[in-house]
Amino acid sequence: MPDQEKIQWISDELENLRQSGLYTSIRTLNSPQGSWLDVDGKRALNFCSNNYLGLANHPKITQAAKKAIDDFGVGPGAVRTIAGTMGLHLELENRLAAFKGVEAAITFQSGFNANIGAIPALVSKEDVIYSDELNHASIIDGCRLSRAKVIRYAHCDPEDLNRVINESSKDGYRRTLVITDGVFSMDGDVAPLDDIYQIAHAHNCLLMVDDAHGEGVLGRGGRGIVDHYDLHGKVDIEVGTLSKAFGVVGGLVAGKRIIIDWLRQRGRPFLFSSAMTLPDVAACIAAVDLLEQSTELVDRLWKNTAYFKEEVQKLGFDTGNSATPITPIMLGEAPLAQEFSRRLFEEGVFAMSIGFPTVPRGKARIRVMISAAHSREDLNRGLEIFGKVGKELHVI
Ligand SMILES: *Cc1c(COP(=O)(O)O)cnc(C)c1O
């Protein structure tokens, strides 16, 4: 077969994506993270990033990273179980455990790796996972890798969870695991973790929550969803990321010491992939320092969120079910969302459209991410441009 023919299907698929408005074009940034960015050479207001607290470019954090390079260099050398772990990695894990109020924590290279490491270490072929139908892709992949039976329950619906557990109880699974996102990343709604806990507890299921968008956002001083619902000691496994509110990169799993010890023995991305780099680890420790010292940034994040949401709704936009700084502007069809995003950018606002497969077909949107880094003027400027483009495209 000629070379071109073997990959013709890929060209066809890419063309399909372009035709249906689902081809993702990635813009190039040439400035630090902040409320304003240089995007493809143009100054634009940043409404895209998960840098909730403005820590990605915070001087205390960048200084900590620089010092770590001077003290220890950059790379971790090899996989921790083979070449030894740096004290700095252990320090971060202890600090994260204390911050979240759990016995222990383990870090991974990313939140994605934390999920695909933790889930297969906890359940396998003879077991069952009850998973919210809108859980993050990394949970879905972790579930697949585990080879456990996966039963989805209706989004944020504890009654439906109860129903699917009851229905499958006769099937004789060995272990049972309930998994939910804490904050759902595309809608910004919060899982009813208190009710989910009651059901998981009543059926003796392990309970795991992915708090990627809750850490640094929900709970006292950003301690996360477990703190938000005061479920300390009740949720077995908390997964998280260091790439969102913490402003760096990396992932974590937090919970009982026994579970964390087990992940150090059986979490495959921990065993077979090198650890976070040292400047990243030091930067994350500095982020924990900042969060422990003051709630100022978290408070500002929520104030900005309340202001933007109220004003954007007053303009006539539909923000779906969001209860967090993730503010979807619901538009419907993907080509409209792409056009909206393109016009926003022309007007100096960087906010990406999100379509299938990240969200269901027909539920395309612009996802606005509010940050503590935004000033009131930034938010007002954004609102003005959303209003202008919304009218122009007959959305409001
Ligand atoms: C972002 C996200 C992840 C992945 O985190 P990374 O550190 O970027 O790999 C995992 N789970 C959820 C719910 C997320 O929103």
CATH number for 305? 3.90.1150.10
Mean pLDDT lowest among 12-21, 159-168, 315-324, 375-384:
12-21
Mean local confidence (pLDDT), 337-359: 93
Write out pLDDT tens, residues 250-259: 999 999 999 9
Q: Of 264, 293, 322, which closes a domain? A: 293
Residue 196 lies in a domain: yes
By DSSP bridging, strand 206-210 and strand 237-241 are: parallel
Based on the domain organization, do 168 and 241 belong to the same domain?
yes
Question: Which of the listed residues 185, 193, 218, 237 should we mutate to test ligand 1's pocket, taking the one with most ligand atoms within 8 A of CB?
Answer: 185
Question: Is 94 in the same domain as 213?
Answer: yes
Instruction: Tell me what pLDDT residue 356 has.
Output: 85
Residue 3 pLDDT greater than 90, yes or no: no
Q: Are residues 243 and 147 in the same domain?
A: yes
Please check the confidence at residue 349 and state whether its pLDDT lies above 90.
Answer: yes
Please check whether residue 139 lies inside any domain of the structure.
Answer: yes
Taking the centre of ligand 1 as the mean of its atom positions, its distance from the CA of residue 297, in whole angstroms, is: 21
Residues 156 and 223 in one domain: yes
Indicate whether 39 and 161 sit together in one domain: no
State the average pLDDT over residues 253-282. Answer: 97
* Size (the chain), residues: 396
Is 185 a known active-site residue? yes
Options 136, 228, 244, 363, the catalytic residue: 244
pLDDT higher than threshold 70 for residue 279: yes
- Arithmetic mean of pLDDT, 155-166: 98
Please list every protein residue whose CB sits less than 6 Å from any atom of ligand 1.
Answer: 110-112, 115, 136, 138, 181, 185, 210, 212-213, 241, 243, 251
Residue 1 has a pLDDT of: 62
Q: Would 5 be classed as within a structural domain?
A: no
* Average pLDDT estimate for 282-287: 98
Q: Which atom of ligand 1 is nearest to the CA of 113?
A: 9
pLDDT (mean) for 230-254: 98
Q: What is the CATH number of the domain that holds 192?
A: 3.40.640.10
Q: Is the pLDDT of residue 22 over 80?
A: no
* Residues 312 and 365 reside in one and the same domain: yes
Query: Of 293, 313, 341, which closes a domain?
Result: 293
Ligand 1 centroid vs 112 CA: distance in angstroms?
A: 5
Tokens encoding 86 = 């740096």
84 and 45 in a common domain: no
Q: Is 11 a catalytic residue?
A: no
What does the pLDDT read at residue 11?
A: 96
Predicted pLDDT of residue 77:
86
Q: Could you tell me if residue 363 is inside a domain?
A: yes
Higher-pLDDT residue of 22, 348: 348
- 121 and 268 share one domain: yes
44: containing domain = 21-52+295-392
Average pLDDT, rounded, for the chain? 96
**pLDDT surpassing 70 at residue 26:** yes
In a domain? residue 12: no
Whether residue 341 is predicted with pLDDT greater than 80 in this model: the reply is yes
Q: What percent of the chain has pLDDT over 70?
A: 100
Tell me if 16 is assigned to some domain: no
Domain boundary among 260, 293, 326: 293
pLDDT tier at 78, thresholds 50, 70, 90: confident
Residues 237 and 278 in one domain: yes
Q: Indicate which residue's Cα is closest to atom 3 of ligand 1.
A: 111
State the pLDDT confidence band at 151, using cuts at 50, 70 and 90.
Answer: very high
Q: Which residue has the higher pLDDT, 78 or 351?
A: 351
Question: Is there a single domain that holds both residue 197 and residue 84?
Answer: yes
Let me know whether 356 and 366 are in one domain: yes
358 pLDDT higher than 90: no
For ligand 1, pick from 51, 109, 112, 367 the residue to mutate: most ligand atoms within 8 Å of CB: 112
Domain count, the chain: 2
Percentage with pLDDT > 90 across the chain: 93
Name the nearest CA neighbour of 241 among 145, 328, 118: 118
Query: What is the predicted pLDDT for the residue at 357?
Result: 81
Q: What is the pLDDT of residues 303-328, one digit of tens each?
A: 999 999 999 999 999 999 999 999 99
> Does 2 have pLDDT greater than 80?
no
Say whether both 69 and 98 belong to one domain: yes
How many Å lie between the centroid of ligand 1 and the Cα of residue 272? 20
In which band, very low, low, confident or very high, does the pLDDT at 23 lie, cut at 50, 70 and 90? Answer: confident
